[in-house]
Structure 1
Amino acid sequence: MAKAISVLGSASDVGKSLVTAGICRLLKDSGYDVAPFKSQNMANQAGVTPEGHEMPRAQILQAKACGLDPHVDMGPVLMKPVSPTGAQIIVLGKAVGQREAKDYFKDTSELAAIAMGALDRLSAKHQVIVMEGAGSPVELNLWSRDYVNLRPARHANAAIILVVDIHKGGVYAQAKGTLDLLPAEDRARVMGLVVNRFKGDLALFEEGIPLMEEVCGTPVLAVLPHLDHGLDEEDRPIRIPVDQKPEAGRFHVGALLSPRVSNTEDLHPLLSEPDIQLTWITDPKLALEQDLLILPGSKATIGDLAHHASTGMAQAVRDAHAKGTWVLGICGGYQMLGRELIDEAGSEGGPNTWEGLGMLPTRTIFRSEKLTTESRFQSAWPEAGHPLTGYEIHQGRTEAQGEGEALAQGAQADAGWRSGHAVGSYLHGLLAEDAWRAAFLNQVRQSRGLALQPMRASDPLEIRIQRWAEHLQRHLRPGAWEKILQVVGPR
């Protein structure tokens, strides 16, 4: 089997995914054939492989860090929450149904066997596996059912790196508590700690490093300062301000934040536009102050639309649109913009039928079969001939029932539709197409009396990955990289 490193964490959202991606890139740059792995992921941030299979975006990012096409063996089990206690289960890229948590945790042996089989296949193909854990590895009540942390690490005889988040506070307790609760066989494989998200003067923590090593009996491999990396994080939407008040003279773009919002990487290209002020919106009053409102994807479209209705956000969006604000919906957000949503199959985890926002003359019918595919189109609006590439993940099928025009040549509402100053599309990655984004945003600017802007290149994912890996490399402690190379062996 391949050599393996397991990146575990003291808790959820301490930075395991990105530390894993950074190590993957540094090993790839050093000439190793390296692949990522995570047995099971709970997140609504998903993407599509070249074969048309659905998998977690965190492992897609890590695959790209390795210079590989993503494959479902890298993230064999994906749970996409549709309610506080229920989730859709994706196994090896295909949806197999929905389960309540109490039913899922009764017996995880079948899914564990599938995950370990995926790990074995990766290990047979690659020289090094860098695997990621989930949450904390020392949730003692879950040990018998947990196949994400210690079980794969043992299966691959992986060296363990523990990530702790100093920004959360209590970093010594995070580290020592986790290490002390590890079984002896696992504690013996811990090679070191990564202290993540340090803010302030690093020199102030220099005396804390030997103290941590003494208390924990484990080397500190790195202390990573906070970095606005712009990369996907599996446990949270893209990091932009929430309910930020509009600044005078800016192009105001507000994205609606909902309980099951998904695929928020779609918003990242807007950060390359210097005149745009981008914020999440939860306060309906702020909707009226935006030039462009964006409804991102959703794992439970009807459920999130019901949320927007109950909070007053749905009516606020209608009011803003009536007064000239542009509205863009992507995937689930596109479905919300139509007149009616019908979910007789019960795939969305909400009511069976729901009135849409009514800004597009469309109707969406949800089916039991999910469409997962990479897609390529040529634009028809706002300018013809721009390439549009990305991916689609949706169970709804949308049809136009009135005025407007298709976004793509040779396609109907299944790709996207525009009517007046409302626009919707199923294509994740639409805004990453620089020429299309420039043409669309200038349509909005012109109608809102804002100065037109030239096309700007968005920050490519490859550059963001490399920037993060170099950040990690710069902050490795003396001898840390050599310890990692001792684990993975010669090239």
Structure 2
Amino acid sequence: MAKVIMVQGTMSGAGKSLLVAGLCRIFRQDGYRAVPFKSQNMALNSYITEEGLEMGRAQVMQAECAGVKPSVYMNPILLKPSSDVGSQVIVNGKALGNMKARDYFAYKKTLIPDILNAFRKLSEDADVIVIEGAGSPAEINLRENDIVNMGMAELVDSPVLLVGDIDRGGVFAQLYGTVELLEASEKARITGLIINKFRGDKSLLDSGIDFITNKLGIETVGVIPYMNIKVDDEDSLTSRFDNKRALDGVIDIAVIRYPRISNFTDLGAFEMQEGVTVRYVDSVYELGDPDMIILPGSKNTIEDLKYIRESGLEREIIRLSKTKPVFGICGGLQMLGNSISDEDKVESGLLTQIRGMGLLDIDTKMSSVKTTVQRNGSISFPKGVFESIKDKKYKGYEIHMGQSGIKDVVISNGANVYASYVHGIFDEGGIAADILKILGKKSISLLSYSEFKESQYDILADTIRANIDMDTIYGSLKEVKIKD
């Protein structure tokens, strides 16, 4: 019988995803088959399984930590924000359509059977299921019909670890306030508190920990230090976006950060390399004179293209494309073409037609039929700066609503402009390494992306194990009991 434990946070970005990943890795190291689970995820980074189903990228990272194949059962509901007030709703890996936040709030409780079915499927083969909450369980305006925090814990009778982020300040207030806003039955589920992202001498926390223990009657089971590791992020709450400055003597890659940027995990194969700077820029001033420009995925391609046009970035990208390589991925590919049309308002924007940047001879039409498929093949770039990587093998996946009338998913204009519908195209076959060699101003030591990720997962697990009471964690595990 599978056992279960849940990680909830005092706020978004408290470190739940990494703690779940680290615990999955620890359980795997200890000989158990662990699997991650998040009933509802809101993120613009997603992944396509072998079955062509879409799930949150964070649960893929957690599955990699656990050494198991990603499954849509690990994330039965995915919300992909398409505007400030609405999201595309994906259930069991398939898009249902766009919903406004209020409409989804009224609808979501009907999805409980889907959540429990996914959880049952995972429990058939797992020894331990590590559940991740979302945001905070103390959002009292969202308590009704909750399906992702204490509501989820109740559905499977799970104990809860509550984590607070000391790096943002006020961690004791976070923990105390969160617990005190819970119902008595919800408080009883919390088996331990965790202070995350601590820098400094741990003994300085002792008096605060004693105070909070006496106040709440709940032990602090871990103080996790701030970790400077590189793993795939869940959403736009990422510190990656803070990097905007080019450094002397390194390869400088500028990624255009539009408002609805998605699947920026595609850049991980570059970010982990020493001697490479990957900058996320949203203004002409920040763009500068990079060695390469990347236009990543977008959840609202027309509105994001409108943004880079109005900001002046489009003009600079076109100018730089005469001498520097420009690479578009998915939505970025569509922006580089001649036009994008969305007559049926698939992306729920105000515009239904927009002129493209004209750097690729393609036209894109949005469709209600979503392409979700894994891809593998060979790059077939003609003449141009990246001609030498022709015939390199790639492996990845497509997620897009638009069709661009092209036969190949990896295309170029024969000069400096390249594009692909394939997410993860840089991850396999040394493609990223070859691109960096072409761009290189100096010799750099290139690492295997897959080996690098495995090393980061081990660092994550080792750090958590050294700073958490794993005996208490194991003692808190409870046999799954799914509510009828």
Instruction: Tell me the TM-score normalized by structure 1.
Output: 0.90
Contact 2:394-2:429 at 8 Å conserved across structures: no
Structure 2 residue 192 is the aligned partner of structure 1 residue 200 = no
Alignment partners' CA distance in 2, 1:311 and 1:463: 40
Q: Unpaired runs of 5+ in structure 1? A: 401-411
Give runs of aligned pairs for residues 98-137 of structure 1, distance below 5 A.
98-137=98-137
1:359–1:452 Cα change, 3 Å: farther
Q: CA RMSD in A?
A: 2.1
Alignment partners' CA distance in 2, 1:376 and 1:152: 37
Give runs of aligned pairs for residues 104-183 of structure 1, distance below 5 A.
104-183=104-183
1:219-245: per-residue Cα shift (whole Å, max 9, x none)? 111111111221122132653364633
Structure 1 equivalent of residue 336 of structure 2: 337
Alignment partners' CA distance in 2, 1:311 and 1:321: 17
1:457-490: per-residue Cα shift (whole Å, max 9, x none)? 23532222222111111111xxx21112123379
Contact 2:159-2:478 at 8 Å conserved across structures: no
Structure 2 residue 419 is the aligned partner of structure 1 residue 419 = no
Give runs of aligned pairs for residues 68-467 of structure 1, distance below 5 A.
68-236=68-236, 238-240=238-240, 242=242, 244-322=244-322, 324-350=323-349, 351-381=351-381, 382=387, 383-399=389-405, 412-433=407-428, 435-445=430-440, 450-451=441-442, 455-458=446-449, 460-467=452-459
Q: Unpaired runs of 5+ in structure 2? A: 382-386, 480-484
2:326 partner amino acid:
V
**Deviation at residue 440 of structure 1 after TM alignment:** 2.5
Alignment partners' CA distance in 2, 1:453 and 1:175: 45
Contact 2:359-2:413 at 8 Å conserved across structures: no
Alignment partners' CA distance in 1, 2:243 and 2:125: 47
2:454 partner amino acid:
E
Structure 2 equivalent of residue 471 of structure 1: 463
Q: Which moved more, 1:103-112 or 1:155-164?
A: 103-112
**Deviation at residue 302 of structure 1 after TM alignment:** 1.3
1:348-395: per-residue Cα shift (whole Å, max 9, x none)? 233211111122222222221111111111223333332211111111
Match of 1:106, SS state, is: helix
Structure 1 equivalent of residue 384 of structure 2: none
Contact 2:392-2:429 at 8 Å conserved across structures: no
Instruction: Tell me the TM-score normalized by structure 2.
Output: 0.92
1:454–1:3 Cα change, 3 Å: closer
Match of 2:470, SS state, is: helix
Alignment partners' CA distance in 1, 2:184 and 2:111: 26
Contact 1:40-1:76 at 8 Å conserved across structures: yes
1:55-85: per-residue Cα shift (whole Å, max 9, x none)? 0111111222222111111111111000000
Match of 2:106, SS state, is: coil
1:29-48: per-residue Cα shift (whole Å, max 9, x none)? 21222221111111111111
Alignment partners' CA distance in 1, 2:447 and 2:174: 43
Alignment partners' CA distance in 2, 1:119 and 1:54: 17
Alignment partners' CA distance in 1, 2:288 and 2:109: 51
Alignment partners' CA distance in 2, 1:10 and 1:283: 33
Query: Alignment length, in residue pairs?
Result: 471
Percent identity of paired positions between Structure 1 and Structure 2: 35
**Deviation at residue 207 of structure 1 after TM alignment:** 4.0
Alignment partners' CA distance in 1, 2:433 and 2:155: 49
